[in-house]
Amino acid sequence: MTDRLVTTAVAPAPEQRRASTLVQTLLRSEWPWMLYLAFVVLLVVFSFASPWFLSIDNFLNIGRQTTLVSIAAIGMTFVIIAGQIDLSVASTLALSGMAAALAMSHLANFWFVGALAGLGTGALVGLINGTLTTRLAIPSFLVTLGTLSAARGLAMMVTDTKPVIITNERYFRIFGEGNLFGLPAPIAWTLAATIGGVLLLHYNIFGRRIYAAGGNPTAALYSGIQIKRVTTWAFVLTGALAGLAALILSARSHAARPDVVQGMELDVIASVILGGCSLFGGRGFILGTLLGSLIIGTLNNGLVLLGVSSPMQLIIKGAIIVAAVAFTKR
């Protein structure tokens, strides 16, 4: 209140006014500029604090480490913009990985058999999530809370909780350890998912329908948009992308395990929200999501490089995420 009185009492000089208008425009803009700034600050701080941070190898580390969250978060961006949520991504990832490994060990040991099984299983879980949410009108929070549990249970049941060993070298190269277009495979897949996500969300009619479905469902309905169908596709896409993440994880660890990435859905949702997506739907960007995921990944990486103890890492990470969201939401 006092601040406002002061600012109205003393008129700012024209240059100041221009500068503050620019800041206000940036703040008001749809794009999360403050987030870019936060990311740059983080990079500068860690570069000074650790001699190991500023190197291509370490940036490749961060890229590889954030792959799973980034890819799943790209799918989640669609779901959240459509005004829904998917809590089951981590369980879907675990189940898809098991499906991929089992298909290769029991059906045929070809990389594309594993890939199809993994992507297909993910998409199927997404289809179930989408259908139950839209056709039975159950809130997606509850539907996906159910599939979070059921998919994990199924992943554990198929092999009685045992891991499934993968022996296909080509599968390892394509999804985990090789190079695609001169980049480590996981990073290449993240870029592919990002480009696909940007094209689909920002340069395609499907994307505009997603925004409409989440932003103003009533108006969307009267405009002839089939909200149920669009929303279901958003879930299918998220499931399939969780399947892609599963291929990368299982190729990297030479096995699929049913207990992997428990709790990853929280990192995924945090990345999406940090990236400027509204939790209530209608607003969000793929590049923002990628940046959100990179910020969390950079924090994880930098804090370990600095030798910060693991409980302290959790506290710092939590505080920075809340602070970053608070700034970007102004």
Partner 1 sequence: MKISPPVRFALASSVAVGALAFLSSAALAAALASCVKSVDLATLGPTSIVGQGPHGEKAASVDEVKLSDADAEKVKAGHFKVGISMQTVNLDWSQLQVQGITDTLKKYGVSVTGVASAEYQVDKQIADIENTIQQHPDGIISIPVDFTATAPTYKKVSQAGIKLVFMDSIPTGLEHPKEYASMVSADSQGNGQIAAQILASCVDKGGTIGLVNFGVDYFSTNERTKGVREWMQKNRPDIKMKQVDFTDPAKVSQIAGDFLTANPDIKGVFAVWDQPALDTLSSMRAQNIDIPVTTVDLGLQSAIEIAKGAPLKATGSQRPYDQGAAEAMAMMNALIGKETPAWVGVQSLPVVQSNVLESFKTVFKKDPPAELTDACNGAKPACN
Task: Using CB under 8 A, pick the residue from 39, 42, 177, 316 that binds partner 1.
Answer: 177
Q: How far is the CB of 89 from partner 1 (least distance, A)?
A: 14
Q: From residue 138 to residue 157, what is the string marking binding to partner 1 with x (rule CB under 8 A)?
A: ------------------x-
Looking only at the bridges linking them, the beta strands covering 179-180 and 164-165 are: unpaired
Task: Using CB under 8 A, pick the residue from 2, 8, 218, 309 that binds partner 1.
Answer: 309
DSSP assignment of 11-61 equals PPPHHHHHHHHHHHHHHHSSS-HHHHHHHHHHHHHHHHH-TTTSSHHHHHH
- SS3 assignment, position 113: helix
84: tokens are: 């829904």
Select 29 or 167, whichever has its Cβ closest to partner 1. Answer: 167
- SS3 assignment, position 27: helix
Task: Using CB under 8 A, pick the residue from 254, 278, 316, 320 that binds partner 1.
Answer: 254
Do residues 92 and 123 touch, judged by C-beta distance below 8 A?
A: no
Residues 94-123 that bind partner 1 (CB under 8 A): none
Segment interacting with partner 1, rule: CB under 8 A, options 113-121, 197-205, 246-254, 273-281: 246-254
Q: Is 304 in the site for partner 1 (CB under 8 A)?
A: yes
Q: Is 180 in the site for partner 1 (CB under 8 A)?
A: no
Residue ranges with strand state E in the chain = 164-165, 179-180, 183-184, 255-256
8-state DSSP, 256 = E
Tokens 């602070």 found at: 323
Tokens 């159950």 found at: 138
Q: How far is the CB of 18 from partner 1 (least distance, A)?
A: 43
Distance of CA 137 to the CA centre of its chain: 25
Sign of the CA dihedral with 47 first, then 270, 177, and 255 last: positive
Segment interacting with partner 1, rule: CB under 8 A, options 17-25, 36-44, 53-61, 211-219: 53-61
Choose among 76, 126, 83: nearest CA to 220: 83
Do residues 144 and 134 touch, judged by C-beta distance below 8 A?
A: no
Q: How far is the CB of 163 from partner 1 (least distance, A)?
A: 6
Half-sphere CA count of 188, side-chain side, radius 13 A: 13
Q: Is 88 in the site for partner 1 (CB under 8 A)?
A: no
Task: Using CB under 8 A, pick the residue from 33, 50, 120, 320 that binds partner 1.
Answer: 50
Q: How far is the CB of 140 from partner 1 (least distance, A)?
A: 24
Segment interacting with partner 1, rule: CB under 8 A, options 95-103, 219-227, 231-239, 260-268: 260-268
Select 14 or 263, whichever has its Cβ closest to partner 1. Answer: 263
Q: Is 2 in the site for partner 1 (CB under 8 A)?
A: no
Q: Is 202 in the site for partner 1 (CB under 8 A)?
A: no
Which residues contact partner 1 by CB under 8 A? Answer: 50, 52, 57-58, 61, 64-65, 156, 160-163, 165, 167, 176-177, 184, 186, 252-255, 260-264, 300-301, 304-307, 309-311, 314
